[in-house]
Amino acid sequence: MDAESTISKNSRYLIDEFNLQVAWRLFKILAEFVDGFDALAPVPLAVTFFGSARSVEGDIEYDTARELARKLASDNCSIVTGGGPGVMEAANRGAQEGNGLSIGLNIEIPFEQQPNPYIDKLISFRYFFVRKVMFIKYSFAFVILPGGFGTMDELFEALTLIQTHKIKPFPVFMVGKDYWSGLVEWVKDHMLGEGKISPEDLDTLHIVDSHEDVIKGIKRIRRELGV
């Protein structure tokens, strides 16, 4: 066999191997969607909490998430988090303290993301995008505590889906005016000011400090939805 034929044969082998790997990955992705839908289908519409995995008990965002989740759970709201430490742990902990359903959607990453011990229903994911679908699909409100890149990603994912009418205009509560006001001012000055978004795109966005503002807003949307 000449060198050209050998190269051609090896190329076909690599292509076949690549296609096989892609096919198996697609099956894994589909399986994650099926498992997630199956596990969460019986769950009443929930409130999803986002925030830093690096917060600890005693930090204002940890204690705020815990107390808010406790109050919402005691009012028959299910609580969904990313299932890890920090704000996620605080919200799951508050959900159990309020005798509500505490749900954790864990992600397999090399650091920061061991499931916390306050979860009633735990689902693990390998793929971020599958996990984000589950966050959005089963929630009727979003509570955003201070966090890093992951929190920003989840915040703007929710806002983008609302803006593009892929989900209903559910309220997004950004808790902590000191932390969030600079970002929102930038959004208004540049995104809105330069015509990159429309004024109504900000209608679902609420910057709050008071627990009661979140509780009242969620009660209002529950009445509207009949939840």
Four-CA torsion 174, 214, 125, 183, nearest 10 degrees: 0
Sequence-distant (6+) residues with CB within 8 A of 161 are: 136, 167
Q: What is the pLDDT of residue 14?
A: 46
> Nearest to residue 219, comparing CAs of 155, 171, 162?
171
Q: To 5 degrees, how large is the angle CA 153–CA 159–CA 162?
A: 140
pTM for this predicted structure: 0.85
104 contacts: CB under 8 Å, gap ≥ 6: 80, 81, 82, 83, 84, 88, 92, 115, 116, 119, 121, 122, 123
Instruction: Inform me whether the pLDDT recorded for 74 exceeds 50.
Output: yes
In one-letter notation, the amino acid at residue 132 is: K
Round to whole Å and give the CA distance between 54 and 56. 7
Which pLDDT score, from 0 to 100, does residue 12 have?
A: 59
Q: Over the stretch 124-181, which tens digit does the pLDDT of each residue have?
A: 888 888 888 898 888 999 999 999 999 999 999 999 999 999 888 899 999 999 999 9
Q: How far apart are CA 21 and CA 196, in angstroms?
A: 40
86-125 pLDDT tens trace: 999 999 999 999 999 999 999 876 665 688 999 999 998 8
| pLDDT: which is higher, 8 or 120 | 120
193-216 pLDDT, tens digit per residue, is: 999 999 999 999 999 998 899 999
Q: Does the domain at residues 45-225 carry the CATH identifier 3.40.50.450? A: yes
Looking at residue 15, its pLDDT comes to: 53
